[in-house]
Amino acid sequence: MIEKLKSYLDGLFAAVPATDEVREAKDELYDSMVERYEDCIKEGMDEQAAYDCVVDSIGDIHELFAELDFSEADNAGSSRADGQNFGEQFAKEIGDFVQTVTDFASG
């Protein structure tokens, strides 16, 4: 089921530029997801219920993408510098998002 979480996260980030900052933020989010999953299992949930709980706790990450005004079309012709600036901004925003998920997982 952990691999299913990884696949889900990969799907969420499929259209995002793969900058170092974005990869780092994605890794942090993945770690939080696994921690939350393991907590759900310890609470007595079965694997599917724990997976569903984690996915539900993330919410709609596409709202974050929209807030950043990101779309594949906007970045299709952008330069590496533009993608890097997006990556830095995205990393900050996703860092805040990861903190929210981590706080939820801890609570």
What does the DSSP assignment read for 48-92?
HHHHHHHHHHH--HHHHHHHTT--HHHHHT--HHHHHHHHHHHHH
Beta carbons within 8 Å of 1's beta carbon, 6+ residues apart:
37, 47, 48, 50, 51
For residue range 33-74, list pLDDT tens digits in order: 999 999 999 999 999 999 999 998 877 666 666 665 554 434
Q: How far is CA 32 from CA 2, 35, 57, 70, 82, in A?
A: 12, 5, 11, 24, 28
The whole-number pLDDT of residue 57 equals 83
pLDDT band at 29 (very low <50, low <70, confident <90, very high): confident
10 token code pair: 């990969």
CA–CA separation, 58 vs 32, rounded Å? Answer: 10
Provide the whole-model pTM. 0.63
69 token code pair: 């005004």
